[in-house]
Structure 1
Amino acid sequence: MLHELPAEKAYRVLESGPIVLVSTRASDGRANLMTMGFHMMMQHDPPLVGAVIGPWDHSHQALSETGECVLAVPTVDLAETVVDIGNCSGDALNKFAHFGLTPAPAQTVDAPLVRECWANLECRVTDDGWARRYNLWVLEVQRVCIDTAREETRLIHHQGDGRFSVDGDTLDLAERMVKWRYLMDR
């Protein structure tokens, strides 16, 4: 039996990428965090990420002003904090301090890394042409840092409407990726 969802719920089927925290630093020096589930890899070389950040997000202004951010990838142990970060605004709250997260200096951007996250991707806006129309920013990844000492590495994936899935077993089919072998780093 097939169950039909309204078209506006398409994200519940397609958006299963890991939740990220977007870290920005405004021109006045204030750092902010926001939770984001709507993002996608766009290409490998250069590494481009599409990210939906609209004017309803406090981080939008900082991204517009500075053209840079960090995409911090939290693990399942931070799931409740990640949801709570998404339920408040940085216009009146220092989210790093309030949620006990540690800002760390990045090497290529002024926005801070999030020390408690498994991975941090330093990004610069490479194309904002779609931002005015679709709130879609094209970010070029400048640097990726992975915390290899971190024991918890399971990522959380947004399924919409407050539902999440957690990484589980990995299915490794790298040997079958013959057409794309040049992209693999083994």
Structure 2
Amino acid sequence: MITVNDLRVHPLDQVHRLIEPGPVILVSTEWQGTPNVMTNGFNMMVRHAPPLIACTIGPWDHSYTALVETGECVISIPTADMAATVVDIGNCSGADVDKFGKFGLTAVAGEAVRAPLIAECWANIECRVADTRLADSHSLFLLEAVRAWTDPSQEAPRLFHHRGDGTFTLDGPVVDLKAHMTKWQYLV
């Protein structure tokens, strides 16, 4: 029988590496006529309908003020072939750099929010801030998806996931367990 003496203590400041929250995303905003984009590795789905997404964006991020002031953003989901660019986007500030220009991103007007979609990404989700009660204390925003888009030319995109230490995992083969979703058939 295994006891705690057989296990290794994992540092609490690295717990986020054990429970990876979701794919790396790009969050675009527009404030005072200027578009910006940031890389985000701390996000998760909260609810199916209406779709709610939790996203950590702190006051240290240039996008924070735009999100607070406008109450809207676009979550763009890049594919694995964009990984190096996405990491580079996260290593500079929109306060100093026009990231759309520097990284060759194509801003596309959405229908529900002023923040731009990113044409190079597989999916774009137009969002409005639904709840900011945890923004001050935990830098956590709840975002309601109000419109979503996918690129039909990318049928089987490979996404990448943040491991918290400069390494990433890539999506692998899809495992189809729809037949086992007996309680949740309405989601299949």
Shorter-chain TM-score bucket reads over 0.9
Q: Which amino acid in 1 is paired with 2:44?
A: M
CA contact (8 A) 2:29 2:115 kept: yes
* 1:15 paired residue number: 20
* 1:84 paired residue number: 88
1:3 deviation in Å?
3.4
1:46 deviation in Å?
1.0
Query: Is 1:58 matched with 2:62?
Result: yes
Query: Is 1:40 matched with 2:44?
Result: yes
* 1:154 paired residue number: 158
CA deviations over 1:105-131 (Å, ceiling 9, x no partner): 011000000000000010000111111
CA contact (8 A) 2:105 2:119 kept: yes
Deviates more, 1:148-157 or 1:61-70: 148-157
- Measure, in 2, the Cα distance between the counterparts of 1:75 and 1:3: 34
Query: Is 1:170 matched with 2:178?
Result: no
Secondary structure (helix, strand or coil) at the match of 2:112 reads coil
Secondary structure (helix, strand or coil) at the match of 1:14 reads coil
* 1:4 paired residue number: 9
The one of 92, 114, 124 aligned to 1:120: 124
CA deviations over 1:105-158 (Å, ceiling 9, x no partner): 011000000000000010000111111111100000011101011266100001
- Measure, in 2, the Cα distance between the counterparts of 1:58 and 1:88: 10
CA contact (8 A) 1:49 1:141 kept: yes
Q: Which amino acid in 1 is paired with 2:183?
A: K
Q: Which amino acid in 1 is paired with 2:131?
A: D
Q: Percent identity?
A: 52
List alignment gaps of at least 5 residues for structure 2: 1-5
1:92 deviation in Å?
1.3
| Bigger radius of gyration among the two | 2
Q: TM-score scaled by structure 1?
A: 0.95
List alignment gaps of at least 5 residues for structure 1: none
- Measure, in 1, the Cα distance between the counterparts of 2:48 and 2:156: 26
How many residues are paired up? Answer: 183
CA deviations over 1:15-41 (Å, ceiling 9, x no partner): 251000000001x11000000010111
CA contact (8 A) 2:57 2:64 kept: yes
* 1:96 paired residue number: 100
Alpha-carbon distance change, 151 to 43 in structure 1, aligned in 2, over 3 angstroms: closer
Q: TM-score scaled by structure 2?
A: 0.94
Secondary structure (helix, strand or coil) at the match of 2:22 reads coil
The one of 105, 109, 117 aligned to 2:109: 105
